[in-house]
Structure 1
Amino acid sequence: MNLFEGHPEFTPDLINRARRIAKTHGYRILKPHGRMSLYEWGLGAFRLIDAEGNIAAGDRHQLTPRDVARHFGEIL
């Protein structure tokens, strides 16, 4: 279920580009999962996780794909 379907900030193209940007810097982006996922989906979409599994940014899943790119100094 995608609550952001049709939202211009959450197109599959932007999400994939943000994933690639994060991956080139050694990070990955995660969407909410588990029992709190419906609540956290209302707050945003992604968080950045480093190689060790620590949260680098977006501790409450508040990052959009553009925020992920901006975190690394890039523009989508």
Structure 2
Amino acid sequence: MRVRVTVMLKDGVLDPQGEAVRRALGTMGFDGVQGVRQGKLLELDLADGTSRDEVRAMCDRLLANTVIESYAIEMPAG
């Protein structure tokens, strides 16, 4: 089973990489970009039957720094 985890900095946390991308797009003529938030997408191939709680534990313990990052889990229903 394939599970996707999207990790993003929480609102209010400075995102220097996102700001660098925003500035670079501006210098390339894309003046309408007012903000960029950069995150990461992880795709996990897990054994069938892996629970959402197990994936949440993976996020809390390793995949996300929950002090400054939030995450969203996408997994097949069932």
TM-score normalised according to structure 1 size: 0.24
Higher relative contact order (CA 8 A, sep 6+): 2
TM-score normalised according to structure 2 size: 0.24
Kindly indicate which of the two structures has a greater share of residues assigned to strand. 2
Kindly indicate which of the two structures has a greater share of residues assigned to helix. 1
Larger C-alpha radius of gyration, 1 or 2? 2
